[in-house]
């Protein structure tokens, strides 16, 4: 099943951990509709910007999977409000664009709830987390930087360079 022209449901829900542990990571019909909106408003424009394939490293996570991996109880990856979904994107794999360029493209051109520069260094994140809500009032355009401090992840507000 396609969520949009270039994103399948399989890509948006794939999890090696879910497969390994026999977890059904199938979204509800309401969550599926939110994933379609995320695909249309975020994934497709990002793919067009990159100029080709765009890797989804994490998409929808059902409650059982999220708990197993130690994900946040409020993670937008879980679509727990049936309004907001998230993808982790990595374009370093294809077409010569960097994750930093993708991050700045989203930050300056797209409507979103949250955008996170995930780890990496000052020049390039390891991947880009972006969430989008079908409720426009929730798309607050929060931009964060994720860092590791020991075994903890710490978030701070991103300051554009």
pLDDT in tens, 144-161: 999 999 888 888 888 876
Give the span between the Cα atoms of 85 and 13, in whole angstroms: 12
Write down the pLDDT at residue 151.
Answer: 85
Write down the pLDDT at residue 92.
Answer: 77
Write down the pLDDT at residue 83.
Answer: 96
pLDDT at 124 over 90: yes
- Candidates 1.10.1060, 3.30.70, 1.20.1050, 3.30.1380; correct CATH number of 9-157? 3.30.1380
146 close to 136: Cβ distance less than 8 angstroms: no
Give the span between the Cα atoms of 51 and 91, in whole angstroms: 10
What is the average per-residue pLDDT within 51-63? 93
pLDDT at 94 over 80: no
Order of strands, edge to edge, in the sheet holding 152-157?
A: 55-58, 84-90, 127-133, 114-118, 142-149, 152-157
Structure tokens at 8: 């399948």
Query: Which residues contact residue 58 at a Cβ distance below 8 angstroms, ignoring those fewer than 6 apart?
Result: 15, 77, 86, 87, 88
């Amino acid at each position: 099943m396609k969520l949009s022209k270039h994103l399948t449901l399989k890509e948006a829900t794939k999890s090696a951990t879910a497969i390994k542990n026999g977890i059904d990571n199938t979204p509800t019909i309401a969550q599926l509709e939110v994933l379609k909106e995320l695909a249309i408003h975020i994934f497709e424009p990002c793919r067009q910007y990159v100029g080709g394939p765009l890797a989804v490293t994490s998409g929808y996570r059902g409650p059982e999977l999220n708990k197993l991996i130690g994900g946040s109880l409020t993670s937008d990856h879980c679509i727990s409000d049936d309004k907001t979904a998230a993808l982790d994107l990595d374009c370093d794999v294809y077409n010569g664009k960097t994750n930093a360029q993708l991050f700045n493209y989203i930050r300056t051109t797209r409507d979103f709830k949250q955008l996170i520069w995930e780890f990496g260094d000052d020049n390039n994140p390891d991947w880009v987390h972006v969430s989008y809500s079908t409720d426009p009032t929730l798309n607050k355009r929060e931009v964060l930087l994720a860092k590791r401090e020991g075994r903890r992840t710490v978030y701070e507000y991103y300051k554009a360079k």
